[in-house]
A and B are shown apart, each in its own frame.
Chain A
Amino acid sequence: MRHLLSTRDLSRQDAIRILDVAEEMSAVGEREIKKLPALRGRTVVNLFFEDSTRTRISFEAAAKRLSADVITFAVKGSSVSKGESLKDTAQTLEAMSADAVVIRHWASGAPARLATSDWIDAAVINAGDGMHEHPTQALLDAFTLRRHWAKISGVPSVGSDLSGMAVTIVGDVLHSRVARSNLWLLETLGASVTLVAPPTLVPVGAERWPCRITYNLDEALAAGPDAVMMLRLQAERMNAAFFPSTREYSRRWGFDDARLAALDTHGLDHTVIMHPGPMNRGLEISAAAADSPRSTVLAQVRNGVSVRMAALYLLLSGDEHQSPATEPTQENPR
């Protein structure tokens, strides 16, 4: 693996390797001293063309726990005002000898441009690009799901996949990079995926995707999913007439209290509720659902650091076969 740009081109082997290394990283997070020297002397740049405090601090924490030097580069400018060009920024980072660039960009494909151009040599990690992909989010979701699935199946998490698991993703699929990355990765890991969305928020062309698509959330819940993943709704979508009102959206596609109760009615004792955050409470998810024991929201955040540590470690460390957490360290000498 040279870059992490999408889950669509991630092999099952690589995906499981990342998740397994993330398990080791997670163990580091439970130590008193949560730090490994693995990336000492390496420079990781967080290059953010779009505001995202959560993803940025998650990557920062991941890089710092691996002892990398972290530089955060927030580029002002939007799709309207052109701002500094990606090429100039990339070449600046190249001149600073960045070893890895974690890029968040509002334009789909910007990380791919960075990785395939001759502007920069660094490893590129896609931290979310436009409506395209958000692979580390999908990996942390898969990590969360795998732990859950392994637990109820009574098998160890490490080395396992999501075979037989049914995952339902609900909301604005059209504009969601989280939905796309999850779909590809879940399919690779053996889960079956159902997408639930208003017809206006299902992309033309999605009929070829490896999933079931339905417009009816209640039917999808009655089908007994093992996990329900709610997508964040951007309020501005309403202005483009994708649906009549947020209230109507919420009634038809929101995970409200009635639907939370329906999980019990259907006898779905193990079904979890996921959300990538930040949540619009009362819109796509009710407060009761978000705070219920079924909710994995905080576990997802916690797992995000482990998964991002794994991604950085695998991209930047020369030896893929050495276990990072068992390296002799000053903090943890053997």
Chain B
Amino acid sequence: MNAPAPARYLIRGAALLGRERADLLIADGIIAGVGQGLSAAGAEVIDADGLIALPGLVDLHTHLREPGREDAETVETGTRAAARGGFTAVHAMANSTPVADTAGVVEQVYSLGRRAGWVEVRPVGAVTVGLGGTQLAELGAMADSRARVRVFSDDGVCVSDPVLMRRALEYVKAFDGVIAQHAQEPRLTEGAQMNEGAVSAVLGLTGWPAVAEESIIARDVLLAHHVQSRLHVCHVSTAGSVEIIRWAKARGIRVTAEVTPHHLLLTDELVRSYNPVYKVNPPLRTSEDVQALREALADGTIDVVGTDHAPHPSEHKDCEWAQAAMGMTGLETALSVVQHTMINTGLMDWEGFARVTSSTPATIGGLEQQGRPLAEGEAANVTLVDPEARWVVDPDKMATMGRNSPFAGTELPGAVHATFFRGHPTVLAGRLNTPHPTAAEESTWTG
């Protein structure tokens, strides 16, 4: 065996979490040293003048589409996109075909992630069999599998049956799991096309009322309190939801909440174009909602940013609004959109950014090696960001197969300069580099 010489990288003079500048020595997959004037002996030097070092981003909410919709995305392409976006871990949502509702499917996705080698892929297990909402999936088997599933979600579909939701919340306590709820009251959103309000009234599109999200969140925080379990609320989109979560946290209820980058920036005014690139679930809301979401993310009411990266083949967007699929890509724009909406507005600093994009999502997902401090001995999952860069979003140049970015043509700040995944640069000088070398070993035994 001719194993490549263990790679050493010296990151020279990065601003750690946007504060003091220091060198980071990366060797053997860990941060081997942090300090001033570290020796570059045997190491490839990366000049990080003007760059910010962050713990690698962790996404709690990614749709990788494999197995089943490899025409939309694969684990390989989706994790390339993740690496380019500065991520070192993603949670792959369960709504694949077949649904990730058995140990077999989650292990398949986990293995595909290991084989790809771009980021850590942690499958999310379905709460109910086939996302059907009637029978609990074998949550314990998924938790005990090689994929060690901790986050369970029927995302795309709400666990609307209150008894089933209660049981799921209770059951996952056995292995410290968490239920990530897609909060959407189904009857209130039949045929829903966009946010219900002034714009939907004019456009004649069936409304998706805020109350359909808020009523489920209100019910679920009460259930979580009643059974003393842990609830995660996916993609919070309304000001009213923020108020309910704030109330629940004040009462000590164990609830965490997520917001997508697109809900931090875009509003339902964009739907006036009828361009389905703006069709997403939950829908784009009003500017008042956007403001409330930003403030909630800054004050900790909302804990994390989750991309809800949802690639679709072009024919699913190149059509009438009502026919179009819901969802937007997000992995390669998340960092820039959050910088634009939260940091450049003064609502948050880079330390806060690391909290909402890395350390808290890693804690919620139970990822021991992710979202850690930039300190000696920690796993080297590190992202270098150029905060002064500006770039115009061009979906054709993305690594994801999805071309459905709502930010196409938009100039955004901040660019990923490098991503280190377990000590290996998956992205260097802003370009995709190579997957982690152990990916090749994976493929020999996963077949």
Residues of A at under 8 Å CB distance from B?
Answer: 8, 79, 82, 85-87, 105-110, 112-113, 116-117, 129-133, 177, 180, 203-206, 208-209
Given A109-B274, A112-B274, A113-B274, A203-B319 contact (CB < 8 Å): no
Can you show 13 pairs from A to B with CB atoms below 8 A apart?
A107-B320, A108-B203, A109-B203, A110-B321, A113-B275, A113-B320, A130-B205, A131-B205, A203-B200, A203-B207, A204-B207, A204-B209, A205-B197
Closest to B322 in A: A107
Q: Nearest 8 pairs between A and B by C-beta?
A: A205-B201, A109-B274, A131-B204, A132-B204, A203-B201, A107-B322, A205-B198, A107-B320
- B323 within 8 Å of A (CB atoms): yes
Tell me if B23 is interfacial: C-beta within 8 Å of chain A.
no
Residues of chain B within 8 A (CB-CB) of A205 are 196-202, 207
Closest A residue to B200 by beta carbon equals: A205
One of A8, A87, A129, A208 near B319 (C-beta < 8 A)? A87
Nearest opposing residue in chain A for B209, CB measure: A204
Given the interface pairs A85-B315, A132-B204, A204-B209, the reply to whether A113 lies near B198 with Cβ below 8 Å is no
Q: Given A116-B273, A204-B196, A204-B209: A109 and B201 within 8 A (CB)? A: no
**New A-B contacts (20) at CB < 8 Å, excluding given A85-B318, A86-B319, A116-B275:** A86-B320, A87-B319, A107-B320, A107-B321, A108-B193, A108-B321, A113-B321, A117-B318, A129-B204, A131-B205, A133-B204, A204-B200, A204-B201, A204-B209, A205-B196, A205-B197, A205-B198, A205-B200, A205-B202, A209-B201
Question: How far is it, in angstroms, between the C-alpha of A299 and the C-alpha of B323 when the chains are bound?
Answer: 37
* B319–A206 touching, CB < 8 Å: no
Task: Flag if B204 contacts A8 (CB, 8 Å).
Answer: no
A8 to chain B: which residues have CB within 8 Å? 202
Instruction: Tell me which residues across on chain B come within 8 A of A203, comparing CB atoms.
Output: 200-201, 207
Complex contact A109–B321 (CB within 8 A): yes
Docked-complex contact B319 and A108, CB < 8 angstroms: no
Q: Are B200 and A109 in contact (CB under 8 A)?
A: no
CB pair A208–B198 under 8 Å, yes or no, is yes
Contact A82 B203 (CB under 8 A): no
In the assembled complex, which residues on chain A have CB atoms less than 8 Å from the CB atom of B321? Answer: 107-110, 113
Q: Closest approach, in angstroms, between the C-beta of B321 and any C-beta of chain A?
A: 5
Closest to B276 in A: A113
Partner of B322, one of A130, A204, A206, A209: A130
- A252 CB, nearest partner CB in chain B, Å: 22
CB distance from A175 to the nearest CB of B (A): 8
- Given the complex of chains A and B, what is the CA–CA distance between A55 and B63 in angstroms? 44
Rounded to whole angstroms, the CA-CA distance of A206 and B205 in the bound complex is 13
Q: Give the chain A neighbours of B274 by CB distance below 8 A.
A: 108-109, 112-113, 116
Binding site for A on B (CB under 8 A): 193, 196-207, 209, 273-275, 315, 318-323
Contact A109 B320 (CB under 8 A): yes
B197 touches A204 (CB 8 A): yes
Chain A residues whose C-beta falls within 8 Å of the C-beta of B204 in the assembled complex: 108, 129-133, 177, 180
CB-CB under 8 A from B198, the residues of chain A are 205, 208
Report Cα–Cα, A205/B204, bound state, in Å: 11
Complex alpha-carbon distance, A328 and B273, angstroms: 42
Contacts of A133 in B (CB 8 A): 204
Contacts of A85 on B, CB cut-off 8 Å? 315, 318-319, 323
Using Cβ atoms and an 8 Å threshold, which residues of chain B touch A180?
202, 204
A216 to chain B, nearest CB (A): 21
User: Which residue on chain B has the smallest CB distance to residue A180?
Assistant: B204
**Cβ–Cβ < 8 Å partners of B318 in chain A:** 85, 87, 117
Whole-angstrom CA separation of A108 from B214 in the bound complex: 27
What CA separation (Å) do A110 and B319 show in the bound complex? 8
CB distance from A79 to the nearest CB of B (A): 7
- CA–CA, A33 to B365, complex, Å? 78
| CA of A106 to CA of B199, assembled, Å | 19
Chain B positions within 8 Å of A109 at CB level:
203, 205, 274, 320-322
Assembled-state Cα–Cα distance A322/B298 (Å): 62
Contacts of A107 in B (CB 8 A): 320-323
Q: CA of A177 to CA of B202 in the docked complex: distance in angstroms?
A: 10
Chain B residues, CB < 8 A from A82 = 323
Nearest-Cβ distance from residue A206 to partner chain B, whole angstroms? 5
Chain B hits for A208, CB < 8 A: 198, 201
Separation of A82 and B199 alpha carbons in the complex (Å): 26
| Residue among B206, B275, B315, B319 with max Cβ neighbours from chain A (10 Å) | B319
Nearest Cβ on chain A to B195's Cβ, whole angstroms = 10
Neighbouring B residues of A105 by C-beta, 8 Å: 320
Least CB separation from B271: chain A residue? A109
- Nearest CB of B to A237, in Å: 13
> What residues of A have a CB within 8 angstroms of the CB of B273 in the complex?
112, 116
A104: min CB distance to chain B, Å: 13
Report A227 CB to chain B, min CB distance, Å: 23
Pairwise interchain contact A110-B320, C-beta atoms closer than 8 A: yes
Please, how many angstroms separate the alpha-carbon atoms of A109 and B315 in the complex? 17
Which residues in B have their C-beta under 8 angstroms from that of A117?
318
Residue of A nearest to B196 (CB): A204
Provide the bound-state CA to CA distance between A79 and B419, in Å: 45
Chain B residues positioned under 8 Å from A87 (CB to CB): 318-319
The CA-CA distance from A203 to B202 in the complex, in Å, is: 9
The CA of A275 and the CA of B124, in the complex, are separated in Å by 55
B377 to chain A, nearest CB (A): 55
Does B322 contact A108, Cβ atoms closer than 8 Å? yes
Tell me which residues across on chain B come within 8 A of A110, comparing CB atoms.
320-321
Minimum CB–CB distance from A74 to chain B (whole Å) comes to 17
Chain A residues in 8 Å Cβ range of B323: 79, 82, 85-86, 107
CA of A109 to CA of B275 in the docked complex: distance in angstroms? 9
Complex Cα distance, B323 from A86, in Å, reads 10
B216 CB → nearest A CB, Å: 19
Question: Which residues of chain B are near A131, meaning CB under 8 Å?
Answer: 204-206
Q: How far is the CA of A13 from the CA of B197 in the complex (A)?
A: 30
In angstroms, Cα B203 to Cα A129, docked, is 10
Among residues of A, the one whose C-beta sits closest to the C-beta of B273 is A116
Task: Give CA–CA (A117, B320) in the complex, Å.
Answer: 11
Q: When chains A and B are docked, how far (Å) is the Cα of A86 from the Cα of B198? A: 27
Closest-by-CB residue of B relative to A8 is B202
In the complex, A129 Cα to B198 Cα: how many Å? Answer: 19
Q: How far is the CB of B322 from chain A (nearest CB, A)?
A: 4
Chain A residue numbers with a CB within 8 Å of B201 are 203-206, 208-209
Closest residue of chain A to B199 (Cβ to Cβ) is A205
Shortest Cβ distance from residue A316 to the other chain B in the assembled complex, whole angstroms: 24
For B197, give the chain A residue with the smallest CB separation.
A205
Q: Which residues of A contact B199 (CB under 8 A)?
A: 205
